Amino acid sequence: MVIEKKLLDLFQEQIRNEFESAYKYLGMAAYFESTPYKGFAKWMRKQASEEMEHAMKFFDYVNDRGNHVELFPLISMPTHYTSPLEVFRETLEHEQQVTHLIHEMYRVALEIQDFAAQVLLQWYIIEQVEEEKQAQDILSQIETTGDSIAALMKIDSKVGKRKD
Ligand code: FEO
């Protein structure tokens, strides 16, 4: 059964949003690559691939329901930042915005009684809890370092061990 236009429009938009998230995190990876923080760079690359998986999950779902995927243009992303603190503050804020978008889609899926879409979106709702938690954890650790580069490098090394 095809997805109703009201929800479909949001899904199409979300394919772009997830690719833009990937692009955003790649921009942050590019920044970290130009600093000693290679662990953060690695984390951002992994985060970017995860965002592409999120995009493809919506892409596949739109196809599976018999709708036709539309691909919208991506905006350019910054590759210059001033500090890891700035980057992870922005990461958390970004994930909170994505959570809001997912919740809005879920609200529409409830409104139009699209039960299958609700199940898909429940996966994203849980995923966003994890996304916000990861960003918050790293941000909290960075906030404790003050001016200590040594402490920051230690977090960088730990964060760089991210497996998935
Ligand atoms: Fe696709 Fe980071 O949420």
Contact at 8 Å (CB) between 25 and 81?
no
Residue 148 lies in a domain: yes
Cα(119) to centroid of ligand 1, in Å?
Answer: 17
In-domain check, residue 14: yes
| Residue 82: domain span | 5-159
Q: List the CATH number of the domain containing 35.
A: 1.20.1260.10
In 96-154, DSSP assigns E strands to none
Does 53 reside within a domain? yes
Look at residue 164 and tell me if it is in a domain: no
**Domain total of the chain:** 1
pLDDT tens sequence for the chain (164 residues): 999 999 999 999 999 999 999 999 999 999 999 999 999 999 999 999 999 999 999 999 999 999 999 999 999 999 999 999 999 999 999 999 999 999 999 999 999 999 999 999 999 999 999 999 999 999 999 999 988 999 999 999 999 998 87
Task: Provide CB contacts within 8 A for 85, sequence distance 6+.
Answer: 139, 142, 143
The whole-angstrom separation of Cα 137 and Cα 43 is: 13
95 Cα nearest atom in ligand 1: 2
Of ligand 1's listed atoms, the one at least distance from the Cα of 51 is: 1
